């Protein structure tokens, strides 16, 4: 065997061992039930690597599969993804079209025979102002949700045409329209009418180093939710990075238990 092939083989085995060690270490501590991601930096990644915006978002989609698999392997039950915001409709049409085509393709691949869906018995929920989407995308949404609706394993919330303030406004409308709800609106009654439902958010991660929520899950980012911003672009974000974030989250939880 060529020396470089041999070295690669040993490195591959070492990575598998280290990855398994980290997963076993994480299993010894608390695990967040609900983690959200603002997947920022796809366009910046494309520019830095001299590729098209479409290729940048495609690279981000490939990174997403690895992150979802790792999170679910660690024991996280629910993942929420900021896929397309209401504000994104204000981008140039060609950029919006690229994102819609990619969304349609990605949803089309999330059927019952998808390896990730089968491995984690995954249920996909698409949340947001879906009436604003093109008919072809809506068909893909309906097909994916219908194909996975009976799955009782992990859950992925795909937030499309979504904004946090819009979600809060929608929850208020739903609450006051319910004749069975007391006249006094409470935090609990609003929470019950949010798109996300339960469990509460434990951790929100944003890539690209930007320190803002960009109108994502504003209601859910309460005092019990940690927010972590990492400097790398989303396509560069990998298994090791999310494992390190989870280890830091565990460390903070252990520290707060002794306060």
Per-residue pLDDT of the chain (259 residues; tens, 9 = 90+): 566 556 556 555 555 556 666 667 776 789 999 999 999 999 999 999 999 999 999 999 999 999 999 999 999 999 999 999 999 999 999 889 989 999 999 998 888 889 999 999 999 999 999 999 999 999 999 999 999 999 999 999 999 999 999 999 999 988 888 776 556 788 888 888 899 888 999 999 999 999 999 999 999 998 789 999 999 999 999 999 999 999 999 988 877 765 5
Whole-angstrom distance, CA of residue 227 vs CA of residue 36: 9
Q: How far is CA 202 from CA 25, 37, 46, 99, 197, in A?
A: 19, 12, 31, 28, 13
Active-site residue identified among 19, 73, 77, 88: 88
166 is catalytic: no
Amino acid 175: pLDDT: 85
Amino acid 125: pLDDT: 96
Give phi and psi for 212, each to the nearest 5: -155, 160
Amino acid 176: pLDDT: 84
Whole-angstrom distance, CA of residue 88 vs CA of residue 215: 12
19 is catalytic: no
CB 37 within 8 A of CB 31: no
Q: Which helix (H) or strand (E) holds 162?
A: strand 155-162
DSSP secondary structure code for residue 75 in this structure: T
- Provide the 10 A C-beta neighbour count for residue 257: 8
Environment class of residue 108 by beta-carbon count within 10 Å: exposed (0-12), middle (13-18) or buried (19+)?
Answer: middle
Beta partners for residue 160, in sequence order: 84
Active-site residue identified among 40, 193, 233, 236: 40
Q: Structure pTM? A: 0.89
Rounded to 5°, angle at Cα 150 from 119 and 168: 100
Give phi and psi for 100, each to the nearest 5: -65, -40
CATH 3.40.50.970 holds for 29-251: no
């Amino acid at each position: 065997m060529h020396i470089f092939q041999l070295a690669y083989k040993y490195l591959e085995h070492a990575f598998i061992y280290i990855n398994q060690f980290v997963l076993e270490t994480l299993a010894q501590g608390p695990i967040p039930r609900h983690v959200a991601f603002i997947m920022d930096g796809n366009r910046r990644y494309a520019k830095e690597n001299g590729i098209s915006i479409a290729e940048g978002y495609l690279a981000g989609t490939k990174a997403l599969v690895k992150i979802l698999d790792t999170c679910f392997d660690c024991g996280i039950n629910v993942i929420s993804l900021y896929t397309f915001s209401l504000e994104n409709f204000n981008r140039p049409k060609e950029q919006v079209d690229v994102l819609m085509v990619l969304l349609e393709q990605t949803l089309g691949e999330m059927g019952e025979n998808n390896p990730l869906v089968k491995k984690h018995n995954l249920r996909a929920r698409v949340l947001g102002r879906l009436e604003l989407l093109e008919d072809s995308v809506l068909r893909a949404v309906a097909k994916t949700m219908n194909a996975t609706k009976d799955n009782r394993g992990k859950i992925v919330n795909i937030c499309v045409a979504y904004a946090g303030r819009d979600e809060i406004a929608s929850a208020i409308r739903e609450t006051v329209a319910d004749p069975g709800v007391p006249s006094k609106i409470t935090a609990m009654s609003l929470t019950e009418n949010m798109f996300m439902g339960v469990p509460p958010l434990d951790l929100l991660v944003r890539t690209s180093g930007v320190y803002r929520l960009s109108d994502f899950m504003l209601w859910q980012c309460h005092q019990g939710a940690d927010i972590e911003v990492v400097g790398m672009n989303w396509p560069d974000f990998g298994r090791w990075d999310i494992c390190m974030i989870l280890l830091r989250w565990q460390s903070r939880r252990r520290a707060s238990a002794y306060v």
